[in-house]
Structure formats: C-alpha cells, structure tokens
A and B are shown apart, each in its own frame.
Chain A
C-alpha cells in the first residue's frame, strides 16, 4: 500500500484566473462602500451581501443550471471562496448552504425540494445551519439520539441539537436524526438526514454565548416539530452512507487555514518595509506555511474536480491548516514590535483588532467540523493503522 498522500500541483485554468480579477474588483467596490467588516463574528453575516454574491453567480457555482446553479468547475468555486475569505467578506449568510447543505440536497434530496430550495440558495436568499452535535453526541456523531418518528404525512421530531452555528439566523437546518436504534453489527445504522424549516412550530432556539461574548452557536430544541415526507433526504436509517463524501468538501477548503490570516497581514503592515532579521524570518516562516497549505488545499479541489473522493487528503489539509491558523496569532503576538505609546489609539489599531479576534477564535478552530483528534484518527486509518 502507498503510505504517502499525493498533492499534485494544480494549474488554474484561464477562466479561473479571469474570475479572480472579477471577484477582486467586486470586493474592492464593496470595501469602498463599507460592506466588508473587519471580521468579528457577528459582522460577517449579511443577507444583503449574500444576495449580491448570488446575483453575481457565485453561489452554487458547480450545480446544474436547472437548479439555479452555474455548472462551473470546483477550481473556479475555489477561487471565489478564497478571495471572499481573504477579504473577510461577510459570507456567513450563504456559506454553509453553498458548501454543504446545497450539495447534500442536490445529491440526496427529493426532486420537489431540489427545485424549490436550490435556486433560492443560489440566489443567496437562504441561510442554512447543520444539526449534528447533541449534548451526548459530539465527536461521536453516530450517537445522536434526537428522534424522528413516523406520523401522518411525515415525521415528528423530539430532542435537542447543540453548538449549532447560525441556528438563530438560519432558514433551514439539515439535521441528522434517529429513526431506528443502531444494530449490533453496525452502530452507525438508524440515522437519517432531514431538511428542517427553522420557522416550523415546535422548534425553540436558545443562544449560547461564546467566550468572546459573541452569539454564534445555539441550542435547538425540538418539541413535536413536524417534518413533511418531502423533507426526508436520502434513505431512511442510511445517513451513514451519505455523510462521508461531503466531508471532503468541508474539510479541505480555504476556510480551514485562512481564519486568522488577517493578523498576519496586519503584522506585515506594522513591520514596515524594512523589518529586522528576527521579524523578517518570523513573517517568512508563517508565509511559507500558509502558501504551502493553500497549495495543498487547491490540490484537493483539483482532485474533487477530477471526480475523486480525497477524504484522507482533506483530513490532512484540515489538520495541518487548523493547527497552523490556531498557532498563528501567538506567533504574530511574539513577533510584533512591543506595544507602546507611539502606536495608534487602541480603538483604531487594526493590528490589535485583528490579533484580538484571531486569539479569541483560535480555540474553536481545531474543534469545529471534526476535532483534531477525529481527523488524526481518519488519517491513521488512511495509513492502515486501524
């Protein structure tokens, strides 16, 4: 067996290069109009911005045209996403739907739902959240116990989801719900994916404030909430066969290494044109890591474009990427010239703002969307160790 994972260089096609200029021009205009935030948690949500992105044709880019998509390549989509993230554009109102929920509906959803939901996502009109974690089901996804039981015309849902980002702003959730107990042979059996309308009766959303004081994630309580049959996504009890492919999309994207990038940009700004040797070396090291990660991440996008399912490679990128972005603020902190009275007023100091934000979000980066430990388990399995 081959133990080494290949990350072949990708040469972006010409149309992707042209697209990059287009996206940069759009973002420049938005920046001048003051639409782009400095990137604190709540500022990054803007339905207005998402509709503009949708109008540009930059949501659901790879989906079929008949569902409102644009039939463009994964590499073109990659360019749009990385440019948006690098500019700290407020994409949260559409990013989850674009990255995960839409593809799941496209692949496993019922035709009626595809026709209704996907074009709205592509126009930037729908915000999605993901109902995976529960109080007793975190990394152990298949321990979920929130129950969906059959009833006239559909299903009744009871239970609790937790750590659900954007639930308070989302229009829909894709929830992983228990429809049967696990079997002796397969503990992953018995879970089913559903589309949940967040406005439906019987759903209560309670905020959970994170350590920075921001409201990002939530607890979502289901009390006899009703789901019509059409909201069933894929096979009953068979979610375990559906969930894994999408992770490759989720795990290797630019959002897995770029979250704290602004603090590096601001460090470079503060360093000036002629940094001393120590600072130059420190900046160089971080840039080397970043550029290599981007290369690997782009390479995974190339594998997706080629029709492969690079799950282990994606886990490698996410593990390296999240560790990098998590460690970055601390490196930047110690490289920066000492805080002193010659610097701008505290509230106008872009460097300090970027570093503060990066430091406060750092802990979640190796937890969300699959912890470091889970990822290393996946890589170890890819190596044939388990």
Chain B
C-alpha cells in the first residue's frame, strides 16, 4: 500500500472537533464522507474500470505475498497506460490541448481504465494500488507528454485518501502547491486564501485543498464550479491557474496527517516520474533523429561529437531515472524524508536542463519549430523542474540538513536507507 497509511478507525476522522462548523453551515457543508463511503457506490465509468480494479487488487495481494516489487505487475499497468497514450495522445492532441481543446477521448479512456484513481483505496472508490504502480504510470504519461491532469488527479486522490474522503469522479487537482502556500478554513466553515499556479484548475471538477484551521491541517474537497480562477499557463502551455478560495464552502473536509512540506515533497516525487519519462522520450527521439538525419554524406550519428553528446544525454537520463526511483522509494515512507526528495529533485532538475539542451542541439533548427514535437517534452521539462521546488530551493534545504548534521555524518546520510 506504500505511503497510503491504513485508514483511521471508522469514526476517528469525524470524532473530536475537526473544525468548528456553526449549525447554520452544517447542512451546506455536507461533509458526510461516512454516508458517501457506506451507502453511495462510486459510479464506475464502465466495465474496463472493474477489470483494472480487479487486477490492481490481484496485483496488490500478490505483492503483499511476495513482499517485493513485482516486475510483471508493473508491466501490466505500464502496458495499459502505454496503449491508451499510444492510441489517444498523438502530437496533435498535445498541440490542440495547448490551444485550449480538452482531450476528451484521452481523458475518458484514462478514467475508464481506473488509472487516475490508482492511489485511492478500494474503500474510497479507487483501485487501491501501490505508490509504485502510480509512479510507473506517471513515467509513461511523462513519456507521452500527456496534456491531462493525470498526475494531479492521482495526487488529489492520495491527499483525499489521507483524510479518508471518498473521491468524486472527474479530473481533480490539488492546491496549494508551493512551500509558502496557505489556505485557511475559517470558524465559519469557509475557505480563505489564494493559490498560484494550480495545475489544470480550469479543467478540474474538484480541487483537493490542503487547509489549516487553528494550527491543524485538513484536507477539503472543493467543487471547482464557482471558484474564481485566473487563467495562466506554464512554459509548456499547460494550465497553471491562480485560484482564489475566498468564502468558498468545501463539499467536505477532514483532518489529515499532511502538511504543506509533505505535499510539496510528494509533488516533487510525482514530477520526477514525469520528468524521467519525458527525458527517456527525448533521448529516444534524439538518437532516432541522429540516425535519420544525414549531413556531409552520412548520418550525423556517425560523428563523434554527436555520439558523445548523446552519451552525455543518456547519462543524464539514467541519473534522472535513478533519482525518480529514489523519490518513489522515499514515498514508501509515510513521512517522506526531505533529504531523499531533495537529492532526487536537484539531480533530476539538473538532468532536465542539461538533457533538453542536448536534445535541441542534436535536432538543430528542426527541433526548434512548433511543428516538431520535441518541444512537447522539453518545454514540460523546463516547467516541471521548477514546480514543487526547483534545484536551488531543494539544494539549499539539503545543504542545511547536511551542515546541521555535521561533516562526519555526511557519509552515513548518503548510505542511509541502504
């Protein structure tokens, strides 16, 4: 089950004073996950969902028996995701999405497969698969530069699950995503605060909001309709909207053992999987281009300068992939160790920059056109390396941890965990 902790005892989530809700607001709030969970079945989009659900469940049980990562399980999930993206995420789909066309066919297929609810426990209407499974899917999504909030829906599911809140259907996202993010739940039961650069906010049906009330953290499920959304885009042209939550009443809310740092760390781990996938994609594209493109009477792949640049790119891709693996592993620990995430995001972020630069150099002018799809991956890499803490932010955090522990603890830190 990875980092999704066992659900709290049935009533623990709702007992005690999770938040003060005046009687007048109680009905409007309707934070009744108990009923949602026990009586209302979560609508299955179609039968494919139950199939995926079935093998997720089977896979999880198998893994529990084996007590270790099982390659074949991961492969089934990867195959499912790969097939969907191959069929429905052509370069044109990505370009259209940048123009504002919602890739409905792609999203519907993903939703139908149950992949967006990978991290949601079965009791809350999801697939109940492991963190590793979700991360494997995200790597494939990164490879195909999928212009849909799959990562965000996964994260929202993870966040809601931590508060024992059942997950509604439709695309989801999370807020706030920055280290200094702060949304408060007032004693009156309304949210207050603003979150910048919320990914795919305009496309989401609900937003999972991490909010604070009198020093306690809660996860609130907020319907997107009626929110004040200021549209903006990332370097890749993906929605990164500023959302104002003032006076918004959440559909439901519950206390959760998550704080903003943990959320940012988890988000960094998620982006790292997508980055690793996108880097694999640009390596593949660059090698192929070098083999296909001829200059001076031979394929440019035959020139040593090109070979060495591609060898460097391959090294960066390998490093980013290892970093993504490290981050995924860190997320198996419910506390998500900061140093592990920092190491991974710094290294992965650097690989994204170095790797994208080499890919463009190899592709020449062709790769600088809008027509060529290289930019789908490179622009996302430039955007993702900046999100959930860039290299500088994480490096400084890591450096402070190292300094605080002292010189003689550096080696034990590096070998910790293995």
Q: Which residues of A contact B (CB under 8 A)?
A: 3-12, 20, 82, 86, 261, 264-266, 268-269, 271-275, 277, 279-285, 287-296, 298-299, 313, 316, 319-320, 373, 375-377, 379-380, 382-386
B415, chain A: closest CB distance, angstroms = 7
A292 and B343 contact, CB distance less than 8 A: yes
B279, chain A: closest CB distance, angstroms = 8
> CB-CB < 8 A to B418: which residues of A?
10-12, 295, 298
Question: What's the Cα separation between A289 and B391 when bound, in Å?
Answer: 12
Q: Which of A261, A272, A293, A383 counts the most B-chain CB atoms under 10 A from its CB? A: A383
B415 and A294 contact, CB distance less than 8 A: yes
Judge if B235 is at the interface, Cβ distance under 8 Å: no
Question: What's the Cα separation between A298 and B416 when bound, in Å?
Answer: 13
Which of B239-247, B307-315, B375-383 touches A? B307-315
A386 and B302 contact, CB distance less than 8 A: yes
Judge if B26 is at the interface, Cβ distance under 8 Å: no
B347 and A289 contact, CB distance less than 8 A: yes
25 of the cross-chain contacts (CB-CB < 8 Å) are A5-B317, A8-B325, A9-B325, A272-B403, A273-B403, A275-B400, A275-B403, A279-B399, A280-B397, A281-B396, A282-B395, A283-B399, A284-B395, A284-B397, A284-B399, A285-B350, A285-B395, A287-B398, A292-B323, A295-B326, A379-B314, A384-B287, A384-B291, A385-B287, A386-B301
Judge if B346 is at the interface, Cβ distance under 8 Å: yes
> CB-CB < 8 A to B407: which residues of A?
265-266, 268-269
A280 and B284 contact, CB distance less than 8 A: no
B396 and A284 contact, CB distance less than 8 A: yes
A376 and B410 contact, CB distance less than 8 A: no
- Given A265-B407, A266-B407, A385 and B318 contact (CB-CB distance below 8 Å): no
Question: What's the Cα separation between A294 and B411 when bound, in Å?
Answer: 11
Judge if B248 is at the interface, Cβ distance under 8 Å: no
Question: What's the Cα separation between A382 and B310 when bound, in Å?
Answer: 11
> CB-CB < 8 A to A275: which residues of B?
399-400, 403
**Tally of contacts, chain A with chain B, CB under 8 A:** 180
A30, chain B: closest CB distance, angstroms = 16
Query: With contacts A11-B418, A320-B318 known, what are 11 further pairs, Cβ within 8 A?
Result: A5-B318, A5-B321, A86-B411, A274-B400, A274-B403, A281-B395, A282-B399, A291-B343, A292-B326, A295-B322, A319-B315
Q: Which of B290, B317, B325, B391 counts the most A-chain CB atoms under 10 A from its CB? A: B325
Question: What's the Cα separation between A51 and B391 when bound, in Å?
Answer: 45
B314 and A383 contact, CB distance less than 8 A: yes
Leading 3 A-B pairs by shortest Cβ distance: A280-B399, A284-B395, A284-B399
B411 and A284 contact, CB distance less than 8 A: no
Question: Which A-chain residue is minimally distant from B143 (CB atoms)?
Answer: A4
Question: What's the Cα separation between A271 and B410 when bound, in Å?
Answer: 13
B60, chain A: closest CB distance, angstroms = 19
Question: What's the Cα separation between A383 and B287 when bound, in Å?
Answer: 7
- Interface residues of chain B: helix, strand, loop or mixed (majority): helix
Query: Which residues between 385 and 414 of chain B lie within 8 Å of chain A, taking CB atoms?
Result: 391-392, 394-400, 402-404, 406-408, 410-411, 413-414
> CB-CB < 8 A to B133: which residues of A?
none
Judge if B238 is at the interface, Cβ distance under 8 Å: no
A290, chain B: closest CB distance, angstroms = 6
A4, chain B: closest CB distance, angstroms = 5
A294 and B310 contact, CB distance less than 8 A: no
Judge if B329 is at the interface, Cβ distance under 8 Å: yes
Question: Which B-chain residue is minimally distant from A24 (CB atoms)?
Answer: B412
A379 and B399 contact, CB distance less than 8 A: no
A82 and B415 contact, CB distance less than 8 A: yes
Question: What's the Cα separation between A373 and B344 when bound, in Å?
Answer: 27
B415 and A277 contact, CB distance less than 8 A: no
Judge if B319 is at the interface, Cβ distance under 8 Å: yes
Judge if B4 is at the interface, Cβ distance under 8 Å: no
> CB-CB < 8 A to A280: which residues of B?
395-397, 399-400, 403
Judge if B342 is at the interface, Cβ distance under 8 Å: yes
Judge if B283 is at the interface, Cβ distance under 8 Å: yes
A316 and B315 contact, CB distance less than 8 A: yes
Question: What's the Cα separation between A279 and B399 when bound, in Å?
Answer: 8
Judge if B212 is at the interface, Cβ distance under 8 Å: no
A325, chain B: closest CB distance, angstroms = 14
B391 and A285 contact, CB distance less than 8 A: yes
A284 and B394 contact, CB distance less than 8 A: yes
A288 and B403 contact, CB distance less than 8 A: no
1/0 per residue B214-240: CB within 8 Å of A?
000000000000000000000000000
1/0 per residue B317-339: CB within 8 Å of A?
11101110110110000000000
Question: What's the Cα separation between A385 and B305 when bound, in Å?
Answer: 12
Question: What's the Cα separation between A317 and B398 when bound, in Å?
Answer: 23
Question: What's the Cα separation between A19 and B280 when bound, in Å?
Answer: 36
B392 and A283 contact, CB distance less than 8 A: no
A287 and B414 contact, CB distance less than 8 A: yes
> CB-CB < 8 A to B395: which residues of A?
280-285, 288
